[in-house]
Copies of this chain bind each other. A is one copy, B any other.
Amino acid sequence: MRTIGVLGGLGPAATVDFLDQLVRLTPARRDQDHIPVLAAFRPQVPDRSAAILGLGPDPLPALLEGLHLLERAGADLVAIPCNSAHHWHAQLCEQSAVPVLHIARACVARLRQPPGAAVLVLATRGVQRSGLYRTALREAGLEPVEPDALAVQHDVDRCITQIKAGEPAAAAHSLSRVLRQAAGQGLSCVVLGCTELPLAARRCDPEGLTLVDSTRALALAAIEHALAEGVA
């Protein structure tokens, strides 16, 4: 078995959720069946979304520092449970000696939608600007949809901030408005393209929508990679 490196703390609750999924989704009956993991919580990395929007310092040096720490400590692959950080995925891969998984590609790979289906992407403003899911969905022959009203993006932002502030009930309230609006628009599939959102979504009525959890998709990709590499 290979060691999964986790460049985390972006934010901390989302990283705990990622690790929780990793443990739950690994086929194991006892401790020794589980996959070794090295998780670096680096919460001081500058805000990713703000940087993409040109409103804050560049997080790339801090992300590279975390990546190299994981490599030196023995990680055989790296997962980053933060969608916005994937704006720098190409630069991270260039400087990495080990594979760095891509959360948006892992997430889109798990969609079971007919060709051309509309998929609503909920994410930070930074991820929307970077086009992370726009690109991945189009490559998969699907039609990315972004929140059309500023009020909806405002509720997404609020939900993320509330999870980071340790207020999951308030976060679920914010996300509920977004999901009701999406269902009312006739959408049927929603990508939770920020790792804080699943923590709120689990407390929401899904309103009949298919919610696709990017944290869970990344955890499944990491497990597949770690176990497959172990066999090889």
Complex Cα distance A72/B72, Å? 9
Nearest-neighbor residue (CB-CB) of A167 within chain B: B29
How many identical chains are in the complex? 2
A144 to chain B, nearest CB (A): 27
Name the residue in A11, A19, A74 with the highest tally of chain B Cβ atoms < 10 Å from its Cβ.
A19
A32 touches B37 (CB 8 A): no
Size category, A interface: 35 or more
Contact A12 B41 (CB under 8 A): no
Stretch at the interface among A42-50, A87-95, A130-138, A146-154: A42-50
User: For chain A residues 170-226, which have a beta carbon within 8 Å of chain B?
Assistant: none
Interface segment among A20-28, A96-104, A117-125: the answer is A20-28
Which B-chain residue is minimally distant from A19 (CB atoms)?
Answer: B16
Residues of B within 8 A of A73 (CB): 38, 40, 69, 72-73
Instruction: Check A164–B43 contact: CB distance below 8 A.
Output: no
Beta-carbon nearest neighbor of A27 in chain B: B166
Q: Is A39 an interface residue (CB 8 A)?
A: yes
- Bound form: Cα–Cα A32–B50 in Å: 14
Q: Are B24 and A166 in contact (CB under 8 A)?
A: yes
- Assess whether A34 is interfacial by the CB under 8 Å rule: yes
- 12 pairs, A vs B, C-beta closer than 8 Å: A9-B34, A9-B36, A11-B31, A12-B26, A13-B24, A30-B165, A31-B44, A31-B45, A35-B41, A38-B41, A39-B41, A69-B73
